[in-house]
A and B are shown apart, each in its own frame.
Chain A
């Protein structure tokens, strides 16, 4: 499956781009997280990583579709 990942904050520095194409066999949010950690070891140093799918925080067992808007949400620090 080929997904497009939107990156923000430190995840953009790590992945290198605002939108990054990402191919993997898995389809779950949890699999995306472990694939990211495997390919970009620096991701493991983050305090947390959430995945947003279509503008909502997604649970680990959510199944991804190639057409979903998928975003990497490192620890937020607004305000």
Chain B
């Protein structure tokens, strides 16, 4: 299951989707919204995705993970829209016969989703907003 959703992510449901009776391990990564960035208070985050391409890119990442590790199940759900600190932005769950594969595959998937999937977030502070990583820090902070 790959899902880009405006609704709150049901973490338990993502875990169940990735689970398998043959699995001895289910590994889950839950990415949440921090309340601080560059020592400034984050009021909320705006997430947006190029949905069709994001799903296609995440599918490629999962295919690569399934080729590298012995996976029995997997699920990725990414939230878009307005998120407040503490809310869940992304969940990755994978299952495998033994724990090593699950740990490694889960990290591989979230690292690559962050690096490759066309998804963006804007941090909104008390004094304005900034698209994360869009520009060098010095340039964006002077803006």
Give chain A's interface secondary structure class.
Answer: loop
Q: Shortest distance in angstroms between A13's beta carbon and chain B's nearest beta carbon? A: 8
| Size of B's binding interface in residues, CB under 8 A | 30
What per-residue 1/0 map shows which CB atoms of A38-55 lie under 8 Å from chain B?
Answer: 000000011100001001
Q: A47-B133, A71-B53, A78-B113 are in contact. List 16 more A-B contacts (CB 8 A).
A: A6-B50, A13-B131, A45-B136, A52-B53, A52-B118, A55-B53, A56-B53, A74-B131, A74-B134, A76-B115, A77-B131, A77-B132, A78-B49, A78-B114, A78-B120, A79-B110
B14 contacts the other chain (CB 8 A):
no
Jot down 27 A-B pairs with beta carbons below 8 A, ordered by A. A8-B50, A9-B131, A10-B135, A46-B134, A47-B134, A47-B135, A47-B136, A55-B52, A55-B53, A56-B53, A56-B56, A71-B50, A73-B50, A74-B131, A75-B134, A76-B117, A77-B114, A77-B133, A77-B134, A78-B49, A78-B54, A78-B78, A78-B119, A79-B31, A79-B110, A79-B113, A79-B114
* Bound complex: CA A71 to CA B118 (Å): 10
* Bound complex: CA A74 to CA B90 (Å): 20
Give chain B's interface secondary structure class.
Answer: mixed
